[in-house]
Structure 1
Amino acid sequence: MAVVEELLRSEGEGAISFGNHKLEKKAKLEDFECGGDLLKVKTYKTMTKLEKNGMFVYESVPGTSVNDFKETQDGINFNVEGDEDAQITIGLQDETEYEVFINNESIGKMSTNLGGKLNLSVELAGAGEVNVRVAK
């Protein structure tokens, strides 16, 4: 998997790829239209953040590169890469329970908070690409 040189791009079947964890300086792309939504990404080596129509969708500390990020009614699926282990926050439905899978292995059920945010840690150092799936 490679970083997303253009910061944000559309993929097939409603998926997107975004982020560049190799950048030394902050970069952002605003008003990227995809599927009728306006997306905004900010990214560099210490943080990657995605918003859709002004609402929070994804944030990682440190920065990550995300490929094939796809939202459905039942959750989110994406592939992530980074140089270091990352703390990832995902915007989902408020106070809802989800099962989280890392490389198709369940790490258990987690609930979102009142604001719909779900926090998880992903071991990325030396791992290459890691698949994350969050399902109701």
Structure 2
Amino acid sequence: MAIVEEGIIKENDGTLSFGDYKREDKLKVENFESEGDIYKVRTHKDVTRLSKNSGLLLETVPGATVHSLKVESKLTSFDIEGNGSTQITIELENDSNYAIYVDDVEIGHIKSNFSGKVSFSVELSENSQHVAVKKL
């Protein structure tokens, strides 16, 4: 997979891809519309952040490239690539339990906080990994 030089794109299947973890300078794309929602992305080597309708959707530290982001009521999934140990924060439903899978291997369970955020770390490389967060 490749970085998303445009900052954010809509794939043919309706999913979103975004981020450029190799970028030295900051790239910001605002007012990207998809299916009635407004997205904003900020990306560079240190952080990649995607907001939906002014609220956090997904953030990585350091920056990463996310492909085929799909958000459903009980499942959020995407492919991700980057450099080294990366913290991923996703805003989901508050006070709920989730199972985290990386390449179809369960790496643990986590409970979202009062604002619905969950954070976990993944060791990334240029070879993408599939991440799935399933509501229990």
The TM-score with structure 2 as length reference comes to 0.96
Listed as ranges, the matches of 1:117-128 within 5 Å are 117-125=117-125, 128=127
Residue type of the partner of 1:79?
Answer: D
Cα distance in 2, alignment partners of residues 119 and 112 from structure 1? 8
Q: Residue 128 of structure 1: CA displacement?
A: 1.2
In structure 2, the partner of 1:76 is 76
Cα distance in 2, alignment partners of residues 16 and 84 from structure 1? 23
Q: Residue 40 of structure 1: CA displacement?
A: 0.2
In structure 1, the partner of 2:67 is 67
Cα distance in 2, alignment partners of residues 76 and 24 from structure 1? 29
Q: Residue 85 of structure 1: CA displacement?
A: 1.7
List alignment gaps of at least 5 residues for structure 1. none
The TM-score with structure 1 as length reference comes to 0.96
Residue type of the partner of 1:57?
Answer: L
In structure 2, the partner of 1:108 is 108
Secondary structure at the residue paired with 2:124?
coil
Secondary structure at the residue paired with 2:13?
helix
Residue type of the partner of 1:39?
Answer: Y
In structure 2, the partner of 1:134 is 133
In structure 1, the partner of 2:2 is 2
In structure 2, the partner of 1:26 is 26
Conserved 8 A contact 1:75-1:92: no
Residue type of the partner of 2:90?
Answer: I
Q: Residue 14 of structure 1: CA displacement?
A: 2.8
Structure 1 stretches of 4+ moved >3 Å:
none
* CA shift digits 1:18-39 (9 cap, x unpaired): 0000100111000000010000
Q: Residue 75 of structure 1: CA displacement?
A: 2.1
Q: Which moved more, 1:11-20 or 1:89-98?
A: 11-20
